[in-house]
Each structure stands twice: as C-alpha cells, then as structure tokens.
Structure 1
Amino acid sequence: MRPARFRSALVTLALSAAVAAGAQSQQAAQALLDEGKWQEAASVAAALNTAAGFALAAEATTAGAGLSPDNQKKALFERAQGYARQAIALDRNNADAYFELARAQGRLAQYSGILKSLGLAGDMKKNLDQALRLNPNMAGAYVALGLWNANLVSKGFVATQATGASRNQITPNFEKAIALEPDVAVHRIEYANALLLQKNRAGAAAQLQKAVSLPANTFWEKRDLEDAKARLASLQ
C-alpha cells in the first residue's frame, strides 16, 4: 500500500494538471473569440463548466448576435443571459459574469417593448453596479454605465424618472473607462455613440479621431476600427 504522503502528492499533481488543462481550454476559447469564431468559442468555453467559462460563453454569444440576422438576435441575447447566470451560480464573486449579464440585458432591451426595456434597464444597472463592486477597475462596466445613462436620457423624462438615469453621469463614466484603458478603441467609439445621442457631433468626431489612431489586433477590434472610420467620415 502506498504511503499517505505519496497518495497526497498524486492527488496534488492530478489537480494541478486539471487546473492547467482548464486554463489552456479557457485560453483556447478566448483565442477562438479573438479570431471571430464566436460559436466555437462559446461551445468550448461553456464546456469547461466553470464560472470563467460561462462568462466567456456569454461574451461570445452577445458578440455573435451582432453579426447575426435580426430574427435571431433576441434568442442569442437570451442565451447569453443564461450563460451569465450559470457563471454567477458557480461564483457569485465573478465580476465578469455580472458584466456579461448586464451587457446581454442591454442588448435585449433594444428588441423589447418600452415596459420590458425599462425593467431590463433597471436590472442592467444593478448588475453593472455589482460588477464594479467586485472589480472597481473594470473599464467596460464604466462604458456600459455611460451608455446606459446616455440611452435613457435620450428617451426622455419618463425613462429618466423610471430609472434614475442622468445626463451628468455620462461623461464621468466614459472618462473613467478611458483613464483605465486609454488604448482601447471601443471605449472611445462608444463614447462617440453617447455623444451623438446628445447631438454633440464635434465631440463624437474628436473621440472617433482618437479611436482610429489606436491599434486593432482581434477580429472585433478590426471590425470596430472600420466602423469608426466610416462613422468619422460621415461626420466630416
């Protein structure tokens, strides 16, 4: 019979190997997503059955919905929410999971009636706030909060009264995100979108001008860059 210390060492090695394999699979899923292969990325990530995996599957599915026909978007955003909720069920301290749930809710609200969209907006804000409580340096969550306020303010008095959205919370959230990640073009692109909702074409053009000067490496970054160039051209 093997000594207890030997058996313990074997268990430790097995656990280490499992963790390493999981990390490699997470990296493989991320690599697929970076290449634009969102369906494969979601499948690989969800199969890990981890909070990080489900959060990545939610991210991939929400991103993929942007490339899908309109009649498929709603179902994909709902699927992304499901992945995010599975991530939260496995780890209630996973900031990415709350952020991905909020992001999917925000996208779904665009395809819902006014009452449902306002309800989703409330849930989205709660989940963004929770993501930032868990990770105060999550730049994407500040971008989402900036857009949340900008979109609801643009809808008028009823929306702002129902949700607490404020024009004064738009710029500070975007400035925080850009301070945290100054070289991420999408933060400036979304800031431009928010400024356009406020009819600030000059401010939007300035943000887009900065965005097109930043590097684009992944499939999504290159897509954002082309969109920024086209939108900038339309403002000039």
Structure 2
Amino acid sequence: MRLSPLRFALVPLALAVAAPASAQSLQAAQSLYDQGKWQEAANAAAALNTSAGFALAAEATTAGASVSPDAQKKALFAKAQEYARQAIAKDANNADAYFELARAQGRLAQFVGILQSLNLAGDMKKNLEQALRLKPNMASAYVALGLWHANLVSKGGAATLLTGAKKNQIVPNFEKAIALEPNVAIHRIEYANALLLQGNKAGAIAQLQKAVSLPADTYWEKRDLEAAKAKLASLQ
C-alpha cells in the first residue's frame, strides 16, 4: 500500500522515537543485571530482539550459571550460547556477541568430557579472535585468551598439542588487557588464577592485592571482590 504524504513524513519520527526507547530498555536490562537479577535481566534483554539485547542476555545467563546449582549449569551455558548466536545472527559485526559465545563455551568446557572440551576450546579461540578483529581493544577478550592458554597449557600433553596453546602467550594477553583497563578488578583476579596454574604464587598475590584495592559497584563486582579477598587470604 502506498503511503500518504502525511504518513510517510511520520515514519522518520517514529523511528527516531523507537531508537531511544530501545536504548532505554537495554539500559533497564543492564541495571537489573548489575543488581544481580540475572534472570530478569536476560528475559528483558532478549525481549528487545536486538543484537545488543541478545548479547546482554547471554552475558547475564552465563553469570547466572555461576550462582546456580551444578545440575543447572550446563543447560544455562547452552542457553547463553543460543542467545549469543542470536545476537550474531542479528549483527555479524557485534564483537560482544562473539565474546559472549566464547565465554559460554569456555564455561561449558569445564563440565564436559575431555574430547568435547577440546572441541569447545577450538571454537572458543576462533570466537575470541573474531571479537578482537571487530574490536581490537576489547580487554575482556585478551583476558579470556590468556586464560585459554593457561588452562590448556596446565593440562599439557594432548590438550596443548591439539589446540596449539602456548605458555608464552599467557602473560602478554593479560598484560595487554590490564594496559587497556588497569582498574578492572576481574582482569587481575583472572590473571592471578592463570599465574597460579603456572605455579607463580608471588605473582598471583601481587595481582590479587591490586584487585582488592579497586572499587566494586555492581553485584558481580562485589562478589568478585569477596572471592579475591578470600583467595588472597588463603595464599598469604
């Protein structure tokens, strides 16, 4: 049907109104997530039916798995991957979507057999590399790559040979992340975890000491801070 001049003139205005509304809705979902209300956040974000919304839903679901019973974790990580793939389908240039897919795959790998975990490891690395191609300064992706190398190198043998994980890639990835975002505690906490896998207790303590001195605002940041304090106390 052909639009009348008046209706045609109103289309740009309608689009202009819809865009801020969508942004506000995403912000509302983010606020729920920051409060620790991950299920509500995931539902609200996914309901937006946008790439950014699905990426946030994936992030919230993966985080939610960390505070859920073990029996529920695998299903939640699978759901997070589904959300991330929907985000990619909506926008193949959304770096956050590839990162969230990789993160969910990495978490799932901890709960499956060795062969499946190695397959997931390969996909995870590809998705992290794609995220960095799209957003070269994504600090979280460098952290995830550092952990990827650290975890696989610590397993040794077939894990290292089949995936190409390298010990000399652990520190550079973490140092890159911290150079980009020096005041994000989780980067240093994960760095400490990677260093512990390599037997570097002193280095891990140094990173944790810095981490616990940084501010924590969201539910998840506060949770990370308490975990870091507990880990530091156990090492000293």
User: TM-score if structure 1 supplies the norm length?
Assistant: 0.98
Distance in 1 (CA, whole Å) between partners of 2:139 and 2:169 is: 15
Give the Cα–Cα distance (whole angstroms) in 2 for the partners of residues 26 and 59 of structure 1: 13
Which residue of structure 1 lines up, in the alignment, with residue 120 of structure 2? 120
Does structure 1 residue 76 correspond to structure 2 residue 69?
no
Counterpart Cα distance in 2 of 1:168 and 1:157 = 16
AA matched with 2:94: N
Rounded to whole Å, the distance in 2 between the matches of 1:136 and 1:152 is 23
Q: Which amino acid aligns with 1:173?
A: N
* Cα-to-partner distance string for 1:174-209 (whole Å, 9 max, x where unaligned): 000001101100000000000000011100000000
Q: Partner amino acid for 1:138?
A: M
State the Cα distance separating 1:157 from its structure 2 match.
Answer: 2.0
Cα distance in 1 for residues equivalent to 2:140 and 2:108: 18
State the AA in 2 paired with 1:99: F
How far 1:8 sits from its partner (Å)? 3.6
1:204 aligns with 2:201: no
Which residue pairs with 2:63 in the alignment? Answer: 63
Partner of 2:32: 32
Cα distance, 1:7 vs. partner?
3.3
Residue 109 of structure 1 corresponds to: 109
1:234 equivalent in structure 2: 234
Displacement of 1:147 in angstroms is 0.2
Aligned to 1:222: 222
Q: CA deviation at 1:173?
A: 0.3
Residue 3 of structure 1, CA deviation: 6.9
CA distance in 1, matches of 2:168, 2:223: 30
Cα deviation, residue 10, structure 1: 1.1
The aligned counterpart of 2:86 is 86
In the alignment, the residues of structure 1 paired with residue 4 and residue 158 of structure 2 have an alpha-carbon distance, to the nearest angstrom, of 71
Identity of aligned residues (%): 79
Letter of the 2:39 counterpart: Q
State the shift of 1:91 in Å.
0.6
Output the TM-score relative to the length of structure 2.
0.98
Please, which runs of 5 or more residues in structure 1 have no aligned partner? Answer: none
C-alpha deviation, 1:9, in angstroms: 3.3
Residues in 2 aligned to 1:9 and 1:80: alpha-carbon distance in whole angstroms? 40
Distance, in Å, in 2 between the alignment partners of 1:162 and 1:63 is 29
Structure 2: which amino acid aligns with 1:23? A
Deviations, residues 210-236 of structure 1 (Å, cap 9, x unaligned): 000000000000000000000001110
Report the alpha carbon displacement of residue 158 of structure 1 after superposing the two structures with TM. 1.0
The equivalent of 2:180 in structure 1 is 180
Q: Count how many residue pairs are aligned between Structure 1 and Structure 2.
A: 234
- Write the distance in 2 (CA, Å) between the matches of 1:12 and 1:100: 33
Give 3-state SS (helix, strand or coil) of 2:24's partner: helix
Question: Where does structure 2 lack aligned partners over 5 or more consecutive residues?
Answer: none
Shift of 1:13: 1.1
- For 1:179 and 1:19, locate their aligned partners in 2 and report how far apart those are by CA, in whole Å: 34
**Structure 1 vs Structure 2 CA RMSD:** 1.0
Mapped to 2, the partners of 1:108 and 1:58 lie a distance apart of 13
Name the SS of the counterpart of 2:188 in structure 1.
Answer: helix
- Alpha-carbon distance between aligned partners in 2 of 1:95 and 1:162, rounded to the nearest angstrom: 26
Distance in structure 2 (CA, Å) of the matches to 1:114 and 1:9: 60
The 4+ residue runs of structure 1 with deviation greater than 4 A are none
- Aligned partner letter, 2:30: Q
